[in-house]
């Protein structure tokens, strides 16, 4: 489970709201986190492994969108491993964890574990948020033919740079002047919560807008490819729209409980005494959403693979196969074509306009296939509706 309360708990003078949720049935909560993260981890890896009877996809060129989807899954896997490790130590060594609450202590390992494991979880899930934002940007740019494999380097710089910067900045402000003597007050903790939830809110607000514009651009591409909008192309556009919808649906399901829980805990922090009877329902709601977070946050990895690729099946193919690297085949074919210069003749000039049209159609097909990658039915319809397939 990813929450800024994990880092706040490392302060001996933690606030009462953080104390409330972290001390609520810790054994049950850690067990829920371990179970949910373990199931998600195994199913996510199963989804990503090659399956029997599935031929490797042949893309015209390496796709930055497919790379981003894989990186999102990797961030979820590593974040889930962090949850399993933290919860396992929490359950297996209660005496070690109890030292975190001691203000004046000489043993620094409990605090090091508390801060290190919390930062690991926050950093990986924050990077996953930034990668999801990059996926929305890249999808739009691919359709607009403004993106390519080279942009993945910029995405790496932005994602890991912002994730590390925000994580370190929030932690530094939270633990000032030191972990053993954190300052009290909401004004001291708010920057940490802002840096944690900023990328999450960015995805919730901006990604739907980018996805909607991408779907509109896809419809324009499909109409302009042959001048008509056939049933196959309409279904392809609908499937791309549904894919974006599934991605946002999974994101909202997995992280809406975090926003609700944080809102309730902030409200409790502003009260003089959170144990007052009128606040009983709010305390109960905060504890319920806390447990829900432990279930849904780790499941994001598996649910995202369902949204990205659908269910890929159980039949894993572990045999090693040499796959053709797209840029190697392109370079070899280019070398073959340029080995001997061919003279310009009348026939080549006659077909120039058709070659240009075919190239434009190929570029359109590449953009659409990158967005629909992982959907076999979409790829088949795209191929059959392509002018190249029809012998144009």
Q: Provide the token pair at 260.
A: 């609700």
Q: Which pLDDT score is estimated for 105?
A: 59
Q: Which pLDDT score is estimated for 368?
A: 62
**177-219 pLDDT per residue, tens:** 777 767 666 667 788 888 999 999 999 999 999 999 999 888 8
Q: Which pLDDT score is estimated for 373?
A: 61
pTM: 0.82
* Domain contains 226: yes
Residue 46: count other Cβ atoms within 10 Å of its Cβ. Answer: 16
Torsion angle of the four alpha carbons 366, 370, 371, 372, in this order, in degrees rounded to the nearest 10: 90
* Domain contains 253: yes
Distances (CA, A) of 235 to 139, 218, 238, 311: 18, 12, 5, 20
* Domain contains 315: no
* Domain contains 379: no
Sign, CA torsion 304/308/311/315: negative
* Domain contains 373: no
User: How many structural domains does the chain have?
Assistant: 1
Domain of 93, in residue numbers: 4-11+63-309
* Domain contains 40: no
* Domain contains 71: yes
Q: Provide the token pair at 346.
A: 């009348």
SS3 category, 316: strand
**What is the C-alpha separation between 234 and 41, in angstroms, rounded?**
36
Angle at 199 (CA atoms; ends 141, 187), nearest 5 degrees: 150
* CA neighbours closer than 13 Å in the CB half-sphere of residue 302: 17
* Domain contains 35: no
Q: What is the pLDDT along the chain (392 residues), one digit of tens a residue?
A: 678 888 888 887 788 888 899 888 889 999 999 999 999 999 999 999 988 776 554 444 456 888 999 999 999 999 999 999 999 999 999 888 877 765 555 677 888 899 999 999 999 999 999 999 999 999 998 887 766 556 888 999 999 999 999 999 888 888 877 777 676 666 677 888 889 999 999 999 999 999 999 998 888 877 766 666 677 778 888 888 999 999 999 999 999 999 999 999 989 988 888 988 889 999 999 999 999 999 999 999 999 999 999 998 888 877 755 444 333 333 334 344 444 344 334 344 434 444 444 445 555 555 666 566 655 445 444 444 443 233 33
Instruction: Look up the CATH number of the domain holding residue 189.
Output: 1.20.1070.10
């Amino acid at each position: 489970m990813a929450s800024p309360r994990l880092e706040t708990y490392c302060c001996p003078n933690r606030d009462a709201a953080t104390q409330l949720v972290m001390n609520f049935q810790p054994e049950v909560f850690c067990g829920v986190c371990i179970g949910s993260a373990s199931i998600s981890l195994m199913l996510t890896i199963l989804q990503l492994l090659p399956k029997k009877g599935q031929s490797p996809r042949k893309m015209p060129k390496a796709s930055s969108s497919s790379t981003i989807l894989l990186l999102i899954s990797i961030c979820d896997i590593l974040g889930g491993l962090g949850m399993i490790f933290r919860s396992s130590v929490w359950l297996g060594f209660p005496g070690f964890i109890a030292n975190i609450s001691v203000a004046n202590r000489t043993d620094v390992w409990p605090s090091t574990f508390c801060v290190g494991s919390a930062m690991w979880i926050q950093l990986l899930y924050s990077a996953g948020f930034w990668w999801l934002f990059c996926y929305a940007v890249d999808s739009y740019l691919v359709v607009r033919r403004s993106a390519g494999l080279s942009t993945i380097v910029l995405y790496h710089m932005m994602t890991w740079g912002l994730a590390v910067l925000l994580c370190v900045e929030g932690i530094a402000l939270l633990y000032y002047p030191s972990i053993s003597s954190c300052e009290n007050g909401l004004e001291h903790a708010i920057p940490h919560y802002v840096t944690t939830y900023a990328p999450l809110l960015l995805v919730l607000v901006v990604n739907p807008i980018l996805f909607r514009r991408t779907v509109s651009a896809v419809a324009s591409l499909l109409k302009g490819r042959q001048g008509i909008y056939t049933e196959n192309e309409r279904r392809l556009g609908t499937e791309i729209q549904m894919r974006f919808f599934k991605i946002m649906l999974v994101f909202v399901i997995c992280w809406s409980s975090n926003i609700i829980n944080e809102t309730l805990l902030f409200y409790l922090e502003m009260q003089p005494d959170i144990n007052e009877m009128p606040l009983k329902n709010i305390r109960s709601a905060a504890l319920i959403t806390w447990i829900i977070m432990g279930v849904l946050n780790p499941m994001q990895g598996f649910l995202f693979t369902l949204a990205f690729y659908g269910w890929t099946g159980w039949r894993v193919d572990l045999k090693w196969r040499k796959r053709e690297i797209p840029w190697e085949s392109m370079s070899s074919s280019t070398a073959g074509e340029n080995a001997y210069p061919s003279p310009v003749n009348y026939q080549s000039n006659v077909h120039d306009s058709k070659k240009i049209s075919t190239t434009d159609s190929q570029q359109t097909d590449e953009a659409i296939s990158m967005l629909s990658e992982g959907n076999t039915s979409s790829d088949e319809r795209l191929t059959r509706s392509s002018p190249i397939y029809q012998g144009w």
